[in-house]
């Protein structure tokens, strides 16, 4: 028992001594960092691409002069149907005709950050048990801010609807208000007396298609807060509809990352070491550099990448470099 107690006392004596002055300095520095972080410019605008005959309403919706509605989905379609479900939510709130709704994948932007998943996943690395509420709140705010500023777009953990249902509804509500404002201006009426249904703005017996007022509506300023539509009698949300992504995937017209071709485009291939404390130990540089079509090589502690005129040449070059990785506690491995 004496030996155990002595060891504990020695460990305790080695703990850093924190003075009151150090605490105040640390708190001041943290406060200054928080203020600087909060004042950092964060005016994020939609970075969508629009055709000459279509109009960007917000980060989630475009409407064309022909009435075609493009719903922007910031999540990857991995078979879960999210490229249909989120457009359903938007179409319901907009009062759209489902036959005119199409889907587009969102570009990289802070506006599509999955802050919910960034916050939830962080609990795996920074447990919240025993942490004071104010510390957890500040820590959570910092995680979300970091994710937004780095445009962390993630799809996982059944978070798509939980994260984006409300932003999609709000975007559709704002677009709907703009369409009603544009229509009301033509009718010399109060826009709040209008409604939308099946792709039309309606006021009594008066009707205007979305496409007829889209150009004018996109130039207006939406209400400060979303004005949501009353529940429709036949909502789309929750119904099984033909998935918007399936036709292109069935007929082969869908473009995947591997289908993209641009002028002077090059291709890269990467080979990583096993999971764990792995390091790249060696490569056969002479054999690798002689690979046909090779343009460049990038080495890292944990991986090697090659750049070539086509993917096949890049991948074959990796074979010639024959990278050998070493993982702590294991023999050297050549993948």
Q: List pLDDT tens digits, range 41-71.
A: 567 899 999 999 999 999 999 999 999 999 9
- Mean pLDDT estimate for the chain: 84
Of all residues in the chain, what percent carry a pLDDT higher than 70? 79
Whether the per-residue pLDDT at 29 is higher than 70: the answer is: no
Q: Which fold has domain 261-327?
A: Aldehyde Oxidoreductase; domain 3 (3.90.1170)
What is the rounded distance in angstroms from the CA atom of residue 63 to the CA atom of residue 97? 12
The band of 21, judged by pLDDT with boundaries at 50, 70 and 90, is: low
Looking at residue 9, its pLDDT comes to 44
Neighbours of 47 (CB within 10 A): 13
Whether the per-residue pLDDT at 251 is higher than 60: the answer is: yes
What is the rounded distance in angstroms from the CA atom of residue 161 to the CA atom of residue 60? 14
Neighbours of 294 (CB within 10 A): 20
Whether the per-residue pLDDT at 11 is higher than 50: the answer is: no
Write the pLDDT tens digit of every residue in 66-124.
999 999 999 999 888 999 999 999 999 999 999 999 999 999 999 999 999 887 766 55
Q: Using the 8-state DSSP alphabet, how is residue 191 labeled?
A: G
Whether the per-residue pLDDT at 36 is higher than 60: the answer is: no
Whether the per-residue pLDDT at 323 is higher than 50: the answer is: yes
Write the pLDDT tens digit of every residue in 147-185.
898 899 999 999 999 999 999 999 999 999 999 999 999
Q: What are phi and psi of 228, to 5 degrees?
A: -80, 150
Once rounded to an integer, what is the mean pLDDT over residues 11-17? 47
β-strand pairing of 303-308 with 294-299: antiparallel
Looking at residue 327, its pLDDT comes to 82
Token pair of 219, please?
């130039």
Looking at residue 130, its pLDDT comes to 60
What is the rounded distance in angstroms from the CA atom of residue 216 to the CA atom of residue 186? 10
Residues making up the chain, counted from first to last: 335
What is the rounded distance in angstroms from the CA atom of residue 177 to the CA atom of residue 187? 15
Q: Which fold has domain 44-114+153-259?
A: Aldehyde Oxidoreductase; domain 4 (3.30.365)
Specify the pTM: 0.71
Sign of CA dihedral 248, 250, 252, 257: positive
The band of 1, judged by pLDDT with boundaries at 50, 70 and 90, is: very low
Write the pLDDT tens digit of every residue in 277-292.
889 999 999 999 999 9
Higher pLDDT, 193 or 2: 193
What is the rounded distance in angstroms from the CA atom of residue 322 to the CA atom of residue 280? 11
Looking at residue 140, its pLDDT comes to 72
Interior angle at CA 100, CA 94 and CA 103, nearest 5: 85
CB proximity list for 171: less than 8 A, separation 6 or greater = 57, 58, 59, 60, 61, 90
> Poorest-confidence range of 1-5, 268-272, 275-279, 293-297?
1-5
């Amino acid at each position: 028992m004496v030996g155990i107690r002595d060891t504990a006392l020695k460990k305790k004596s080695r703990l850093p001594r924190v003075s009151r002055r150090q605490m105040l300095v640390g708190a001041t520095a943290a406060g200054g960092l928080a203020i600087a972080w909060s004042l950092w410019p964060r005016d994020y605008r939609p970075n969508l691409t629009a055709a000459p005959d279509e109009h960007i309403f917000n980060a989630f919706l475009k409407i064309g002069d022909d009435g075609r509605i493009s719903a922007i989905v910031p999540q990857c379609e991995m078979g879960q149907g999210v490229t249909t479900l989120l457009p359903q939510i938007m179409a319901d709130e907009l009062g759209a005709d489902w036959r005119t709704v199409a889907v587009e994948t969102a570009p990289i932007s802070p506006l599509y950050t999955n802050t919910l998943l960034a916050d939830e996943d962080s609990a795996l690395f920074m447990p919240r048990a025993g942490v004071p509420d104010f510390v957890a709140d500040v820590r959570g705010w910092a995680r979300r801010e970091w994710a937004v500023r780095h445009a962390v777009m993630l799809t996982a953990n059944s978070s798509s609807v939980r994260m984006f249902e409300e932003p999609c509804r709000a975007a559709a509500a704002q677009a709907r208000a703009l369409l009603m404002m544009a229509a009301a201006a033509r009718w010399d009426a109060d826009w709040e007396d209008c409604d939308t249904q099946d792709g039309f703005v309606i006021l009594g017996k008066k009707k205007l298609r979305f496409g007829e007022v889209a150009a004018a509506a996109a130039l207006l300023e939406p209400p400060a807060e979303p004005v949501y539509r009353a529940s429709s009698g036949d909502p789309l949300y929750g119904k099984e509809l033909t998935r918007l992504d399936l036709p292109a995937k069935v007929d082969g017209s869908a473009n995947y990352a591997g289908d993209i071709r641009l002028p002077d485009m090059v291709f890269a291939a990467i080979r990583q070491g096993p999971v764990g404390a792995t390091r790249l130990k060696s490569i056969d540089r002479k054999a690798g550099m002689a690979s046909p079509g090779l343009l460049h090589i990038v080495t890292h502690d944990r991986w090697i990448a090659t750049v070539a005129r086509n993917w096949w040449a890049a991948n074959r070059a990796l074979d010639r470099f024959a990278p050998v990785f070493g993982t702590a506690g294991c023999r050297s491995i050549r993948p």
